Chains A and B, each alone.
Chain A
Amino acid sequence: DSGVTQTPKHLITATGQRVTLRCSPRSGDLSVYWYQQSLDQGLQFLIQYYNGEERAKGNILERFSAQQFPDLHSELNLSSLELGDSALYFCASSEGLGFGNTIYFGEGSWLTVV
């Protein structure tokens, strides 16, 4: 158990809909990351927050957005969903930003768009 909690574990929704994925980082971790992993694809970095502020942005679509709240939990919002958005979405957290920083991953949220 990494200590990173993601909900829901599974989600099925229709095209055009909007969903919110939730992440609670490990206790004490200030940095949260979101990744997307499609079938047979590698892990695609989406976005990173540190202590409530956006820190780095990767291949995140404009239809997707995220935020980190004062209690450090984070939400990833996916809107106008398309079939191709079906994937496993991981949240990860780390203590800080220093070099040598270790990232710990949650078990993911399975999103199926039908």
Chain B
Amino acid sequence: LAKTTQPISMDSYEGQEVNITCSHNNIATNDYITWYQQFPSQGPRFIIQGYKTKVTNEVASLFIPADRKSSTLSLPRVSLSDTAVYYCLAGGADGLTFGKGTHLIIQP
């Protein structure tokens, strides 16, 4: 399981695009990159997952460069309800370990 590093906190404003970058220098060949969102006192919620290049779904985009040593979660046009902790994970099938995550605060 690759160790990940992401900013402890970020601030932004409603309507802005927010990019959260995660580094995973020792990612293994078979590791996928997955992002989760967690609100206080709730279980983490799957946002997006990718292996390389770019993945987009209805809520976010995930950019992964060719060397896969980092990834960027992009949240378009954030709202107050996007205030949450975002976790980046780089791993395989077993025992995913979450770090401290990035506490994203969206202001009006």
A residues neighboring B (CB under 8 Å): 2, 4, 33, 35, 42-43, 45, 48, 55-58, 88, 90, 92, 96-108, 110
Contacts and interface: CB of A to CB of B under 8 A. Distances in A.
Nearest to B51: A100
The binding surface of chain B is classed by DSSP as loop
Nearest to A102: B46
Contacts of A4: 43
A42 B100 contact: yes
Contacts, number: 60
B45 A33 contact: no
Interface of B: 30-32, 34, 41-46, 49, 51, 87, 92-101
Contacts of A105: 43-45
Nearest to B100: A42
A108 B43 contact: yes
Contact of A108 (B41, B51, B95, B100): B41
A104 B34 CA distance: 12
A42 B101 contact: yes
17 contacts: A2-B43, A2-B45, A4-B43, A42-B98, A42-B100, A42-B101, A45-B95, A45-B96, A45-B97, A45-B98, A56-B95, A58-B95, A90-B43, A96-B93, A99-B93, A100-B49, A102-B49
